[in-house]
Amino acid sequence: MSSVCKTLAYLLLLFTTALPCRGDDSACERMTRERVYIVRGTAGYWPAIKGMTERVRRLNYEPVVLLPSQLLLEKDRIVKRRKSGEEQGRVLIIGYSLGADAAALLAQGLGKDGIRVDRLILVEAFNHPVITPNVGYCFNIYETRVSDRFTVFRGTPVGESSPCTELWQVNVDDDPELSREVGSVMGHFTIATSPFVQELLVSQLQ
């Protein structure tokens, strides 16, 4: 088994053994539910996003689903809530396709207001996004394919990242075992529907 798959298997083991909070668990009730900002692709496209939000909730996070066009306004709201103390905890962002590039821009905008992004998780970002120094950790999963000449239908590595950011990039095309795990749903329009990929994404929130 490749080192990438061994690492992924370990992360999935951690994920599957984590138990959601029970309603009668007083310790859980005292916890503040951190928001996870989930950014859809073009025109709101993200197949099986319901499964994604359910996985986020099972880990006791609060999913906030957004369109790329909503991020400028949402950035201002996040800044306001953070500065007022209404919103605390970590800043967690997941983006897919156009939403992945938009998520990187959201992180950049938050950095200009002095806000740290703890987790920036990208799926099939198509335009080599730049990861700014206020991002603590970035996970980027993508696949190189023959259709990459069609810019909006491709996945790319990040274009630039700061040494302040811990960066983990996974090119599915480089690992046959991972490709087999993803299986028939491989492709820019379908990779985010894979339960394996979705569970890998939420494991990065920990």
Residue 148 is predicted with a pLDDT of 60
Angle between helices 195-203 and 49-58 (to 10 degrees): 40
Whether 192 is covered by a domain: the verdict is: yes
Whether 6 is covered by a domain: the verdict is: no
Whether 25 is covered by a domain: the verdict is: no
What residues have CB less than 8 Å from 17, skipping those under 6 apart? none
Residue 35 is predicted with a pLDDT of 97
Whether 107 is covered by a domain: the verdict is: yes
Ranges of H-type helices in 18-84? 26-30, 49-58, 71-84
Residue 24 is predicted with a pLDDT of 43
Find the helix or strand (DSSP H, E) in which 109 lies: helix 98-112
Domain that holds residue 142: 32-203
pTM above 0.75, yes or no: yes
What are the DSSP E strand ranges found in the chain?
Answer: 35-39, 62-66, 92-96, 117-123, 130-131, 135-142, 160-161, 166-171
Residue 65 is predicted with a pLDDT of 98
| pLDDT < 70 regions, the chain | 1-32, 146-150, 152, 183-185
Whether 11 is covered by a domain: the verdict is: no
CATH value at residue 70:
3.40.50
Whether 157 is covered by a domain: the verdict is: yes
Domain count, the chain: 1
**Closest of 52, 121, 204, 206 to residue 129, by C-alpha:** 121
